Amino acid sequence: MVPGLVVCLVICTRLLVVAGARPPAMYVFGSSILDVGNNNYLPGAAVGRANRRYNGIDFPASSPTGRFSNGYNIADYVAAAKNMGFACSPPAYLSLAPNSSSGPLVLTALATGVSYASGGAGILDSTNAGNTIPLSKQVHYFGATKAKMVAAVAPRAVDAHLSKSVFLLGIGNNDMYVFAAAELARNTSAADQRRNAAVLYASLISNYSATISVQPSSIWPSQIIQKFAIINVGLLGCVPGARVLSPVGACWGRLNELAGGFNDALRPLLAGLARRLPGLAYSIGDSFGFTRDTLADPRASGFADVAAACCGSGRLGGEAECFPNSTLCDDRDRHVFWDRAHLSQRTAFLVARAFYSGLAKYTVPINFMELAQSS
């Protein structure tokens, strides 16, 4: 294990000893909005990675870590929030050599948690297949982690640990984008769009439900409570990479419509699961609504540019990813978007703060802090 990781684990463990009411760990599942480096370890030229500058320019030592950001991302700021007590997001699963000795993985899983999030991942296995870690495989990896924890400690102790931990989940963006892009390429009629969207939602909701309600004894904690902090699908049609499809740089309305429709289906799904699974506690953070409000009144949050990427190339910086030879903006904190598809570090901070302890309109039925403190 690298020395820095040892130091980080010791610090995080001490924080938990001091404040026993804090969650003992956080486990992260999702896409590039939460990825902290898993994609760095995936083979293939088509894999989306953020392990090159200017990514990470505002991270300590200006180091590209695999986060699709100029610095930290939403997972980092949720982990570092009040009453969570961690320095940043737990490390990427694939960085912990999970197929070798179980020591580093188990120690990390118990001390801070683990991140399984992967850039490009979808709820559906078919989304960006072969170039990411889909949600089903992320959950499989967590099951493997739990099995190693049980072997090292004891089943009841591990379940007690996990039942007090927070499971952060943010996924669905890529499923929406892949579907909308295919729809656009086929020039689908309005009637077919409605029918196809209904089929898509049914498939996504079915997979989402199966993920959360999987038999607790095999994957999730089998104790009293399972805490899911969920981030819904964002305002995808307004990212720079979507705006460049419009001659005037307008938001892609159809993509926003698809995202909003999925979010509308997500809320009753979680409410229904909570009624059916007495141990389930959850909070949904409204990324779609928060971004919509921010774009409508950017000055209230200190932003000057709500359309262009800080790092990119072409129109609005949205025609290519962030590369070492990309154009870099002067004031990154004044941009909502870091690159063609992702939020800047400052926006990520504001999102996490809103979900953790901000206005009630951005979370249902409770906020992330109330979820973390629930028992």
Give me the active site residues, please: 32, 339, 342
For residue 92, the SS3 value is strand
Backbone angles phi, psi at 143, to 5 degrees: -60, -40
Q: ∠ CA 284-362-121 to the nearest 5 degrees?
A: 45
Residue 141 preceded by cis peptide, ω within 30 = no
Element (H, E) at 148: helix 135-152
Rounded Cα–Cα distance for residues 213 and 207 (Å): 10
For residue 133, the SS3 value is coil
Residue 239: name the closest of 281, 169, 294, 182 by CA.
Answer: 294
What Rg, from alpha-carbon coordinates, does the chain have? 20
Rounded Cα–Cα distance for residues 218 and 348 (Å): 33
Rounded Cα–Cα distance for residues 121 and 172 (Å): 8
Rounded Cα–Cα distance for residues 295 and 7 (Å): 40
Token pair for 163: 């039942």
- The alpha-helical segments, DSSP class H, found in 237-367 are 240-243, 253-276, 287-296, 345-357
What is the DSSP code string of 94-119? GGG-TTS-SHHHHHHHHHT--B---T
